[in-house]
């Protein structure tokens, strides 16, 4: 299903490019836009994860630079039956995490320093298990493509407004209209492509992988408010990127694809008593409030 949604997204982007190309350049402009769209589709499919990570200024860490965090992800990945993903830390006070990549073999997971500082060891493990749940459920391809394609749509609108206003008075009103419609159109694409049920699915997977649904419920309760209050610079630049996060940011209402945090917590607490859970993470926590050493300076 995610593969079909991805194909539909690429087709929609191509049609949008061609429509704008025809608006500004007639049939010749439409053909040029078709070529550009085809190249952009191919580039986005293979590089969307890199675009998302660069958008967040994420830095990759390993067993030497962030042993606690990396070791935790390694253990959780093994428990989930997944290949070891690349691991990143984002220097941001916004407490959040996300997963990206076109498949489990090319996946990456990231957490912000704000999240690592705010949560306990078990809560961080539960959050990262949620992100690995997205990887195992193969949600990451469509999530990553949506973030980059919706960002591209906004870029197209800005370009059209600039291009249409130069020596082409007839096209200028169309460019202005296109610019006004692009953000809602991008939001519509996000809403159509991303199902809210995917968060419940990743939450259930996290409960299975980490063995601690209560820890994830606690983490969601702690970070939901700060995530809305503290800006995410990446999501400010591209609001569609907010749908990648475990909890929405304060600027993502138009693009919201998350169910209410209270409902997610209730569902997790219902799982708490539904049966025996596997053993919890054996990676030892550090002393002090923060469970992990983010090693921010590398």
| pLDDT tens-digit map of 107-160 | 999 999 999 999 999 999 999 999 999 999 988 888 787 777 766 666 666 555
Confidence of residue 289 (pLDDT cuts 50, 70, 90): very low
Mean pLDDT over all residues of the chain? 80
Query: Inter-axis angle of helices 140-164 and 172-193, to 10 degrees?
Result: 170
pLDDT given for residue 40 in this prediction: 73
Please check the confidence at residue 273 and state whether its pLDDT lies above 90.
no
Per-residue pLDDT of 209-224, as tens digits, reads: 999 999 999 999 999 9
Mean pLDDT of 26-52: 81
Indicate whether 42 pLDDT > 70: yes
pLDDT (tens digit per residue) in 248-258: 886 655 556 78
Token readout for 262 is 């209270």
Point out the least confidently predicted range of 37-46, 48-57, 148-157. 148-157
> 275: left (phi > 0), else alpha (psi -120 to 50), else beta?
left
Q: What angle do CA 213, 219, 225 make, to 5 degrees?
A: 140
Q: For a pLDDT cut of 90, what percent of the chain falls above it?
A: 44
Q: What is the pLDDT of residue 275?
A: 46
Residue 173 has pLDDT above 70, yes or no: no
Average pLDDT over residues 33-47: 78
pLDDT more than 70, % of the chain = 69
Closest C-alpha to 6, from 135, 199, 145: 145
The pLDDT of residue 174 is 58
Least confident range of 37-46, 259-268, 274-283: 274-283
Per-residue pLDDT for 172 more than 70?
no
Res 154: pLDDT: 63
Instruction: Tell whether residue 208 is among the known ligand binding residues.
Output: no
Res 236 pLDDT > 90: no
Measured on CA atoms in the order 146, 156, 110, 219, is the torsion positive or negative?
A: negative
Query: Residue 271 contacts by C-beta under 8 Å, 6 or more apart in sequence?
Result: 204, 207, 213
Does 134 appear as a known binding residue?
yes
Q: Has 131 been annotated as catalytic?
A: yes
pLDDT at position 165:
47
* Residue 33, pLDDT above cutoff 90: no
Average pLDDT over residues 175-195: 59
Catalytic residue among 131, 208, 262, 272: 131
Please tell me the pTM assigned to this model: 0.79
The confidence band for 28, taking pLDDT boundaries of 50, 70 and 90, is confident
């Amino acid at each position: 299903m995610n593969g079909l949604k991805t194909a539909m997204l690429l087709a929609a982007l191509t049609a949008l490019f061609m429509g704008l190309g025809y608006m500004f350049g007639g049939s010749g402009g439409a053909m040029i836009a078709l070529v550009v769209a085809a190249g952009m589709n191919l580039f986005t499919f293979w590089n969307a994860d890199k675009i998302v990570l660069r958008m967040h200024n994420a830095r990759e860490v390993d067993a030497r630079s962030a042993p606690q965090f990396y070791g935790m992800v390694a253990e959780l990945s093994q428990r989930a039956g997944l290949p070891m993903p690349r691991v990143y830390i984002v220097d941001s006070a916004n407490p959040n995490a996300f997963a990206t990549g076109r498949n489990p073999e090319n996946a990456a997971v990231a957490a912000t320093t704000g999240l690592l500082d705010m949560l306990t060891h078990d809560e961080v493990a539960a959050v990262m298990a949620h992100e690995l749940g997205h990887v195992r459920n193969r949600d990451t391809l469509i999530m990553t493509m949506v973030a980059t394609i919706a960002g591209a749509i906004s870029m197209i609108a800005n370009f059209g407004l600039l291009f249409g206003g130069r020596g082409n008075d007839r096209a200028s009103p169309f460019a202005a209209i296109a610019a006004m419609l692009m953000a809602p159109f991008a939001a519509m694409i996000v809403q159509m492509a991303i199902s809210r049920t995917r968060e419940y699915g990743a939450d259930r997977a996290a409960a299975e992988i980490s063995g601690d649904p209560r820890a994830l419920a606690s983490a969601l309760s702690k970070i939901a408010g700060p995530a809305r209050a503290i800006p995410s610079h990446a999501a400010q630049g591209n609001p569609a990127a907010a749908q990648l996060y475990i909890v929405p940011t304060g600027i993502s209402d138009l693009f919201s694809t998350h169910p209410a945090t209270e409902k997610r917590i209730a569902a997790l607490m219902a799982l708490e008593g539904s049966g025996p859970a596997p053993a919890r993470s054996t990676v030892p926590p550090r002393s002090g409030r923060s469970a992990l050493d983010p090693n921010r300076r590398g």
